[in-house]
């Protein structure tokens, strides 16, 4: 587990949970979204440990009634409210939430960094998310959250068999629902005619960028965008103007130009570092896309 983030064992320890199970999703670049189940049949009758302040939210679904819920934000107690099984509560981790753990509890928690919600807004060309709208300490009836949380229960039971792509999609659906229901996310822009949605284009380019040296199949790219391979290929060309393979080659050449400035690297080393089969293949592609050979380009830019 990372050094920060209110999910997994860290969250379990803060809540004095007797047991916990967790899943993480890497839909967020350079970060994670977490899903944690916490349970205790023997309450400690103590306040929860401080959860480190961060720009993130906990969206909690109660799986067991928790009457007379005593709760604090920024050191101030909120009105006492009974949380019913099936209700959803929102907690802003910038406000140092504290709970009195004086009753048995069972709940699941979605850990959603704000940058995850803003990435969702970027995908649909909407303004970034401000503060979520909620009443501190209170729960609301949210059937969508119940359905999405329950969809992940089997993955908690057998995490080693969990389909990571399925977990990622559910987490993305949770993020979109929270951004729209509690964050005021504006109307989604439609698909470009025959092209990719903004989130699909961004996802495809991220995957290609992460696999410049390795191999990534068109089927894998299409699957990540929830499209068939043929539909994805046509939609990518319509949106970007070139095929996915041509985009990959251009990104490899851009990387090669950066490496060519280092004269300590031979042309064959640059070729291999950029995913080309050999120097000959590298030279053919580089010359075709740049109008000059790698050696000539290096000499020109060295001067």
- Asked whether residue 224 falls in the same domain as residue 264, the answer is no
> What is the predicted pLDDT for the residue at 29?
58
34 CB-side CA count, 13 A: 26
- Asked whether residue 50 falls in the same domain as residue 168, the answer is yes
pLDDT of 252 above 80: yes
- Asked whether residue 31 falls in the same domain as residue 172, the answer is yes
- Asked whether residue 121 falls in the same domain as residue 218, the answer is no
| Averaged pLDDT for residues 11-22 | 94
- Asked whether residue 33 falls in the same domain as residue 159, the answer is yes
* Cα–Cα distance, 174 to 144 (Å, whole number): 9
**Dmax (CA) of the chain:** 76
- Asked whether residue 128 falls in the same domain as residue 212, the answer is no
Residue with tokens 């999910």: 7
* Residue 83 forms part of a structural domain: yes
* Residue 186 forms part of a structural domain: no
* Nearest of 245, 235, 261, 251 to residue 286 by alpha carbon: 251
139-160 core/surface letters (b: 16 or more CB in 10 A; e: else): beebeebbebbeebeebbeeee
* Residue 187 forms part of a structural domain: no
Q: pLDDT tens across 101-133, in order?
A: 999 999 999 999 999 998 888 767 788 988 999
* Residue 173 forms part of a structural domain: yes
Q: What is the mean pLDDT of the chain?
A: 88
Q: What's the CATH number where 40 sits?
A: 2.60.120.10
| Averaged pLDDT for residues 169-197 | 78
Which residues are within 8 A (CB) of 4 and not within 5 positions of it... i.e. 6 or more apart? 52, 54
CB-neighbour burial class of residue 50 (10 A; exposed 0-12, middle 13-18, buried 19+): exposed
* Residue 280 forms part of a structural domain: yes
Q: What's the CATH number where 272 sits?
A: 1.10.10.60
Q: pLDDT tens across 200-251, in order?
A: 999 999 999 888 887 777 778 888 888 877 788 889 989 999 988 889 999 9
3-state secondary structure of 71: strand
Number of structural domains, the chain?
3
- Asked whether residue 39 falls in the same domain as residue 123, the answer is yes
3-state secondary structure of 268: helix
- Asked whether residue 42 falls in the same domain as residue 136, the answer is yes
183-196 core/surface letters (b: 16 or more CB in 10 A; e: else): bebeeeeeeeeebb
* Residue 151 forms part of a structural domain: yes
pLDDT of 160 above 80: no
pLDDT of 303 above 80: no
| Averaged pLDDT for residues 86-104 | 97
- Asked whether residue 221 falls in the same domain as residue 109, the answer is no
The domain of 153 spans 8-181
* Cα–Cα distance, 170 to 175 (Å, whole number): 9
* Residue 191 forms part of a structural domain: no
* Cα–Cα distance, 34 to 46 (Å, whole number): 25
- Asked whether residue 277 falls in the same domain as residue 132, the answer is no
pTM above 0.85, yes or no: no
> What is the predicted pLDDT for the residue at 194?
65
* Cα–Cα distance, 132 to 299 (Å, whole number): 55
> What is the predicted pLDDT for the residue at 1?
37
> What is the predicted pLDDT for the residue at 165?
65
- From residue 253, alpha-carbon distances to 43, 86, 257, 289 in Å are 60, 53, 6, 8
- Asked whether residue 225 falls in the same domain as residue 291, the answer is no
* Residue 21 forms part of a structural domain: yes
């Amino acid at each position: 587990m990372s050094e920060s983030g209110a999910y997994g064992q860290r969250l379990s320890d803060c809540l004095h949970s007797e047991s916990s199970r967790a899943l993480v999703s890497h839909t967020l670049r350079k970060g994670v979204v977490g899903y944690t189940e916490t349970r205790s049949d023997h309450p400690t009758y103590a306040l929860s440990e401080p959860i480190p302040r961060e720009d993130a939210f906990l969206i909690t679904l109660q799986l067991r009634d928790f009457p007379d819920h005593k709760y604090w934000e920024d050191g101030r107690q909120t009105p006492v409210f009974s949380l019913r099984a099936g209700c959803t509560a929102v907690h802003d981790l910038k406000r140092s939430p504290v709970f009195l753990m004086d009753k048995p509890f069972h709940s699941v928690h979605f850990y959603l960094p704000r940058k995850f919600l803003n990435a969702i807004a970027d995908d649909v060309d909407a303004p970034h998310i401000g503060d979520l709208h909620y009443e501190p300490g209170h729960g609301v009836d949210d059937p969508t959250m119940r359905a999405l949380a329950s969809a992940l229960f089997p993955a908690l039971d057998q995490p080693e068999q969990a389909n990571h792509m399925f977990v990622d999609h559910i987490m993305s659906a949770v993020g979109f629902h929270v951004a729209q229901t509690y964050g005021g996310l504006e109307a989604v822009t439609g698909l470009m005619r025959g092209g990719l949605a903004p989130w699909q284009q961004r996802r495809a380019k991220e995957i290609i960028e992460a696999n410049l040296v390795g191999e990534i199949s068109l089927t894998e790219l299409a699957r990540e965008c929830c499209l068939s391979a043929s539909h994805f290929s046509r939609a990518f060309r319509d949106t970007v103007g070139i095929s996915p393979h041509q985009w990959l080659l251009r990104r490899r050449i851009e990387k090669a130009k950066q490496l060519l400035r280092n004269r300590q690297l031979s042309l064959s080393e640059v070729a291999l570092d950029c995913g080309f089969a050999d120097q000959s293949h590298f030279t053919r592609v580089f010359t075709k896309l740049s109008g000059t050979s790698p050696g000539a380009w290096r000499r020109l830019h060295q001067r």
